[in-house]
Amino acid sequence: MSDSIEPTDIPPAPEPMDTADVSPAPASPPESSPGTGAEVSPEEHQTQQRHRASQLAQALRHELRKVIIGQHGAIDDVLTALIAGGHVLIEGVPGLGKTLLVRALAKCFGGDFARIQFTPDLMPSDVTGQAVYDLQTEQFKLRKGPLFTHLLLADEINRAPAKTQAALLEAMQERQVTLEGRALPIAQPFMVLATQNPLEQEGTYPLPEAELDRFMLKLRMDYPAADEELNMVREVTRSSRAEMLEVHPPRTLLNARDVNVLQRIASELPCDEQVLDYAVRLARATRDWPGVAIGAGPRASIALVRGARARALLRGGEFVIPDDVKHCALAVLRHRVRLAPELDIEGLSVDQVLGQLLDQVAAPRL
């Protein structure tokens, strides 16, 4: 079977959907146009696949918006990371729906899902696994930890000390875990969605710089607007099991193989050299920007292009435009730069400084 998506299995978006059954299509090149018998060229076949993938991504966004009231920006950013094959760090005060968003995505995703509640006494072996002695065989056996999954929710990751947080490093970058000298691969796709409370709260540990850099995006969930909060209260208080996703239960729309297809199609979207240059210039500008003590590294440039391609697929575009880069720039850069002490004293935030940078770095006109 080939890595493709059947057009009839994808519900239209963003209209309300009653059925959705997405499955890879059987190998069929060269295709024929319905009713004409004419063969479809490889370019037309690629365009059709891109359109079907975009429909599926938009259907997934529509399903998540039924569960999460408001927070449309956070939903789009999480889907951007999923399509781009990256990891997400979600920050916000308790009660904004960070964990609910990840659980809703897991229900829409037919692959394996695991959750780790990070606590101060959590050990690295609780995350990765360990060798356990079997009394019957009198041998040690490797017991894999919850890290071996497709979608991992690392809840309140900054409640655990650095040594436990660092247990995710190898898995996030190399998609493998080394246990007892053996490198064990993690099934693809693999995505870590970590939530954290603001560092100003007691009992939190800042994440190591190396681990922060491995998160493709850092999202900040803010309080909902007044009308959104009113709608949320109205919907939630109608059900005694609202927090268990019983208000609008999400449906499973795709499996692990479908996600791999989405990621491949997004990575093949055309990206002009001027757009690539714009992404690199944005990342490099942070390294000598006034008031920025530590700028973003090359991973930021790569993440900008990967995120832009995913954004283009999510909006149904045929190619990447500068706005795709700009729309994901804040989420890509905010956790990779450090402000100089004088800007902290002045009360400027990272987002404000990056906003000035985005306004002053010229975008290409295509």
- Break the chain into its structural domains and give their ranges: 270-366
Q: Which long-range contacts (CB under 8 A, 24 or more apart) does 119-122 make?
A: 119/156, 119/159, 119/160, 120/159, 120/160, 120/161, 120/203, 122/160, 122/164
Name residue, tokens 């239209």: 12
- The pLDDT score that the predictor gives to residue 38 is 56
- The pLDDT score that the predictor gives to residue 320 is 95
Which residues, at least 6 apart from 173, have a Cβ–Cβ distance to it below 8 Å? 214
- The pLDDT score that the predictor gives to residue 175 is 92
- The pLDDT score that the predictor gives to residue 127 is 93
User: CA-to-CA distance for 39 and 256, rounded, in angstroms?
Assistant: 30
Q: Is the pLDDT of residue 16 over 90?
A: no
SS3 26: coil
Q: What is the pTM of this model?
A: 0.84
24-35 as b/e: b if 16+ CB within 10 A:
bbeeeeebeeee
User: CA-to-CA distance for 330 and 314, rounded, in angstroms?
Assistant: 18
Q: Is the pLDDT of residue 22 over 70?
A: no
Q: How high is the mean pLDDT of the chain?
A: 84
Over residues 62-115, the pLDDT tens digits come to 999 888 888 889 999 999 999 999 999 998 888 788 888 888 888 898 888 899
- The pLDDT score that the predictor gives to residue 130 is 87
Please give the residue that has the higher pLDDT: either 312 or 47: 312
- The pLDDT score that the predictor gives to residue 29 is 42
Neighbouring-strand partners of residue 115: 153
What's the CATH number for 270-366?
1.10.8.80
Which tokens sit at 91? 């920050």
Over residues 200-252, the pLDDT tens digits come to 666 788 888 888 999 999 999 888 889 988 888 887 787 666 555 455 778 89
Percent of the chain with pLDDT over 90: 50
- The pLDDT score that the predictor gives to residue 39 is 72
Please give the residue that has the higher pLDDT: either 158 or 305: 305
- The pLDDT score that the predictor gives to residue 246 is 53
Mean pLDDT of 123-136: 88
- The pLDDT score that the predictor gives to residue 27 is 38
293: phi then psi, degrees, rounded to nearest 5: -80, -40
Confidence of residue 270 (pLDDT cuts 50, 70, 90): very high
SS3 128: helix
- The pLDDT score that the predictor gives to residue 30 is 42
Neighbouring-strand partners of residue 339: 292
Please give the residue that has the higher pLDDT: either 150 or 25: 150
Q: Are 327 and 309 in contact (CB under 8 A)?
A: no
- The pLDDT score that the predictor gives to residue 236 is 78
Q: Which of 28-42, 61-75, 152-166, 281-295 has the lowest mean pLDDT?
A: 28-42
- The pLDDT score that the predictor gives to residue 117 is 93
What length is written for the chain? Answer: 366
